[in-house]
Amino acid sequence: MQYPWRRTKSACATARFEEPLTLVPSVTASWPFAPLLFAATYAMAVALIAPYRAAQSWLLRWALYSGAILAAQYTVIQAIAFGEPGALLSVGTILAIGAGGIATVLALGGLWTVPRLPRIKPAYWLACAILMLAAAVPGWRIALAAILIGAMLVAIVAPALTLAAYLRVSFIVWKLAQQDPRAAGRIGLRVPLVWMTTYGTAWVLAVINAIDLYNSLPKTPPDC
């Protein structure tokens, strides 16, 4: 992402649709999503600690499923912000969203594969950690660069990783709910309708906040 600034006709270029959109994840713009994010995060915590408890509660299950929707939202925004397509319906937009989808699928594959890998004894992990530290001391510049690049890559694909985690945990909880006769009923239409109304309202408020924040940015970039 480039340095945020407000493009005008008198600036270096005209404004593009993704510029206000990329401000939606900011705290100033995205606070209307806070209740939905809190519910999804709480449901994820319960599912990780006590998966059968989450499976037995239709409310926790829905909150967990909705977390996947929210994560997909931020994955698409991140992909569009990184790709910077020139129009809403363009090849750039399709490629950006496709890249986000590929990152999510790869993360899902990793989450599915890791538990199935043969376990390594803690003594071997300790030996590897000591060897890595010993190699990093003389080559600290290379190690620092690798850490910084790794952190940047993780930050870029963080929404896709979050989406993959919610999809994987949601699938596990759904399977448990299908097998557990004590699962508290099925999710009816009322809860999704209420959630969609809240979600739509949050989007309207977030877009308004993002536009206001975008209009408050400088009209020219530092190097214009």
Predicted pLDDT of residue 117: 67
The answer to whether residue 168 is domain-embedded is yes
Predicted pLDDT of residue 139: 65
For residue 163, the enclosing domain spans 18-115+159-215
Predicted pLDDT of residue 11: 40
Predicted pLDDT of residue 59: 85
64/8 Cα distance (integer angstroms): 41
The answer to whether residue 145 is domain-embedded is no
Predicted pLDDT of residue 214: 81
Predicted pLDDT of residue 8: 45
pTM of the shown model = 0.71
Contact predicate 186/6, CB 8 Å: no
The answer to whether residue 120 is domain-embedded is no
The answer to whether residue 184 is domain-embedded is yes
Predicted pLDDT of residue 10: 37
The answer to whether residue 78 is domain-embedded is yes
Predicted pLDDT of residue 159: 85
Nearest alpha-carbon partner for 200 in 32, 18, 22, 27: 32
67/213 Cα distance (integer angstroms): 26
How many angstroms separate the Cα of 25 from the Cα of each of 70, 79, 209, 221?
Answer: 11, 13, 11, 21
The answer to whether residue 10 is domain-embedded is no
The answer to whether residue 44 is domain-embedded is yes
The answer to whether residue 139 is domain-embedded is no
* Torsion angle of C-alpha atoms 163, 168, 171, 176, degrees rounded to 10: -140
DSSP letter (8 states) at residue 3: P
Q: How many domains does the chain have?
A: 1
Predicted pLDDT of residue 1: 43
pLDDT by residue for the chain (224 residues), tens digit each? 444 544 544 343 344 556 677 777 777 888 889 999 999 999 999 999 988 888 888 888 889 999 999 999 888 887 777 766 655 566 666 777 777 778 788 877 877 777 776 776 666 667 777 776 666 667 656 666 667 776 777 777 788 889 999 999 999 998 888 887 666 556 667 778 888 999 999 999 988 888 888 887 776 655 55
